[in-house]
C-alpha cells in the first residue's frame, strides 16, 4: 500500500528562496500533530527529527506499523505529554516521507527531481517549518525540541526565529558539524554514488534502487551512533551461529550481523538521494560563521535553553555544547545544562534513559510554571 495514503500534507504556493539562492516555486510539507491546541494557542511544541527520522514521532507509524521513533518520550502521560501539549512534527525539506525532496515530482518536468533538486541547508529546513507554524495559525511556540540533526534545527530556530519560541531544547547536538562527522558522511555518500544502480541520482524509473550503497552508508553511520563500550557489552567478539571460525568470507560475528540488519532494514524505508541531500545539509551547518559568531546567533535574552548531552556520545561530544553555552552566557541568557552519564552513545537520546527523561521533564515543568499555562 502506498505511503501517500497515510501522509498529511499542506502545499505552499509561494516561492522559497534557499540559502543557495535557488528557488522552489512551490513545495509540500508532510506533518503530524498530536494532542490539542488550547484556546490561547500557547501549548504548541515543535519536534524536529534527526537524519533518518520522520514526522511520526509517536504512536503507531501508519506507513510501517511500528512505534514512532520517540514513543518513549512523547505521548499521553509521557515526558512530552500530549494530554497537555499540542505536538507538531514535520518531515524535513529534502526528506522522503512526503515533504518536497529529490524523489518529489519537479513541477516543470513532471518527473522526480533527482539531482536537479537544489542543495539545501538546515536553515532552509527551518524556514519551511516556520511556514508550517504560520499555516497552523500559531504565533509563538512553547518549545522547539530535537536530538542530533533535530538539535541543529532547534538551534537554527533560536538563531533565525527566536522571537517565535519561548524555549529551545537541543539534545545530543552541536552548532556545527565537525571534520570527523563530515568525513563519515562523505564515506556514506561515496558508497551510494559508487552503486551501479544510483545512475547519478536518476534511478526512480529504473525499478532498481542503489540499495547496496545506501545499506553500506547506513552501516557506517550506525557505528557512530554507538559507543565502544556499548558495542563491547552488546556484541563483544561473539560469533553468530558457531563456536569456531569458518575461514570463509561470510557473516560470522554478531556485530557483523547486526550492522547488516541495520543496513537492509534501512533501505526499505529511506531514499538514497535524500540521504545525500540531508547529510550535506548537516555538513554545511555552522552557526559560528553564519551569524557573525555564536554570541550574535544566540543574543535573544527572552529565550530559555536546555542543553542535554550524553557522556559517551563521541559524535556530538559535550565539549561542543559547552562552547555554545559559553557564548550564550555572554548575553546573560538563562541556560540549563545536563550531561547524562551513560555508555549508550549518541543514540541514547532515542532510548529509555531515565535521567535524560527526568531532566527534560523538570525543564518543561519549570517552563510551564514560568509561562503560567
| pLDDT, tens digit only, all 373 positions of the chain | 356 667 899 999 999 999 999 999 999 999 999 999 999 999 999 999 999 999 999 988 888 889 999 999 999 999 999 999 999 999 999 999 999 999 999 999 999 999 999 999 999 999 999 999 999 999 999 999 999 999 999 999 999 999 999 999 999 999 999 999 999 999 999 999 999 999 999 999 988 999 999 999 999 999 999 999 999 999 999 999 888 999 999 999 999 999 999 999 999 999 999 999 999 999 999 999 877 789 888 888 889 999 999 999 999 999 999 999 999 988 778 899 999 999 999 999 999 999 999 999 999 999 999 999 9
The predicted-structure confidence for 138-177, as pLDDT tens digits, reads as follows 999 999 999 999 999 999 999 999 999 999 999 999 999 9
CATH number, domain of 308, equals 3.40.50.1820
% residues pLDDT > 70 (the chain):
99
Q: Give the CATH number, domain containing residue 251.
A: 1.10.1740.110
| The total number of structural domains that make up the chain | 2
Nearest to 354 by CA among 342, 371, 337, 365: 342
Give the range of the structural domain holding residue 100, as residue numbers without chain letter: 3-177+290-371
- Do 297 and 362 reside in the same domain of the chain? yes
Q: Which three three-digit cell numbers place residue 40? A: 490561547
Q: Which pLDDT does position 2 carry in this prediction?
A: 57
Which are the catalytic amino acids? 148, 313, 346
The closest alpha carbon to 175, from 108, 123, 218, 131, belongs to 123
Q: 0.75 exceeded by the pTM?
A: yes
116 belongs to a structural domain: yes
Do 353 and 216 belong together in one domain?
A: no
- Structural domain includes residue 285: no
Last residue of one domain, picked from the residues 278, 300, 326: 278
**Grid coordinates of 268:** 526499505
Q: 283 lies in a domain?
A: no
Consecutive H or E run containing 214: helix 211-224
The answer as to whether 330 is a domain residue is: yes
Burial degree of 355 (CB within 10 A; 0-12, 13-18, 19+): middle
Residues 6+ apart with CB under 8 A from 19: 120, 121, 123, 124
- Can you tell me which residue has the cell 538539535? 151
Among 373, 370, 372, which Cα is nearest to 303's?
A: 370
For residues 272 and 365, membership in a common domain is answered with no
Amino acid at each position: 500500500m502506498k505511503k501517500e495514503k497515510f501522509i498529511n500534507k499542506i502545499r505552499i504556493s509561494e516561492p522559497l528562496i534557499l540559502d543557495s539562492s535557488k528557488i522552489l516555486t512551490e513545495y509540500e510539507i508532510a506533518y503530524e500533530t498530536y494532542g490539542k491546541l488550547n484556546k490561547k494557542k500557547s501549548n504548541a511544541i515543535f519536534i524536529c527529527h534527526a537524519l533518518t527520522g520522520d514526522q511520526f514521532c509517536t504512536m503507531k507509524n501508519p506507513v510501517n506499523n511500528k512505534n514512532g521513533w520517540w514513543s518513549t518520550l512523547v505521548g499521553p502521560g509521557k515526558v512530552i505529554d500530549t494530554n497537555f501539549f499540542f505536538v507538531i512534527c514535520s518531515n524535513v525539506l529534502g526528506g522522503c516521507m512526503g515533504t518536497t525532496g529529490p524523489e518529489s515530482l519537479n513541477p516543470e518536468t513532471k518527473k522526480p527531481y533527482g539531482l536537479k533538486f537544489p542543495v539545501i541547508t538546515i536553515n532552509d529546513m527551518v524556514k519551511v517549518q516556520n511556514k508550517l507554524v504560520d499555516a497552523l495559525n500559531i504565533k509563538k511556540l512553547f518549545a522547539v525540541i530535537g536530538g542530533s540533526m533535530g538539535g541543529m534545527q532547534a538551534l537554527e530556530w533560536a538563531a533565525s526565529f527566536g522571537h517565535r519560541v519561548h524555549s529551545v531544547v537541543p539534545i545530543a547536538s552541536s552548532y556545527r558539524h565537525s571534520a570527523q562527522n563530515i568525513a563519515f558522511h562523505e564515506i556514506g555518500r561515496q558508497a551510494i554514488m559508487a552503486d551501479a544502480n544510483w545512475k547519478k541520482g536518476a534511478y526512480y524509473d529504473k525499478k532498481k534502487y542503489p540499495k547496496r550503497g545506501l545499506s553500506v552508508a547506513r552501516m557506517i553511520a550506525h557505528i557512530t551512533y554507538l559507543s565502544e563500550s556499548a558495542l563491547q557489552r552488546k556484541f563483544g567478539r561473539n560469533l553468530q551461529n558457531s563456536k569456531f571460525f569458518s575461514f570463509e568470507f561470510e557473516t560470522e560475528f554478531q556485530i557483523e550481523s547486526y550492522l547488516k540488519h541495520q543496513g537492509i532494514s534501512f533501505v526499505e524505508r529511506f531514499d538514497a538521494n535524500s540521504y545525500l541531500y540531508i547529510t550535506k545539509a548537516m555538513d554545511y551547518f555552522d552557526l559560528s560563521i553564519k551569524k557573525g559568531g555564536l554570541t550574535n546567533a544566540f543574543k535573544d535574552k527572552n529565550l530559555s535553553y536546555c542543553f542535554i548531552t550524553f557522556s559517551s556520545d563521541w559524535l556530538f561530544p559535550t565539549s561542543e555544547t559547552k562552547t555554545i553555552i559559553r557564548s550564550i552566557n555572554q548575553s546573560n541568557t538563562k541556560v540549563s545544562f545536563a550531561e547524562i552519564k551513560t555508555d549508550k552513545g549518541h543514540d541514547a537520546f532515542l532510548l529509555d534513559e531515565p535521567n535524560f527523561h527526568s531532566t527534560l521533564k523538570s525543564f518543561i515543568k519549570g517552563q510551564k510554571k514560568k509561562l503560567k499555562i
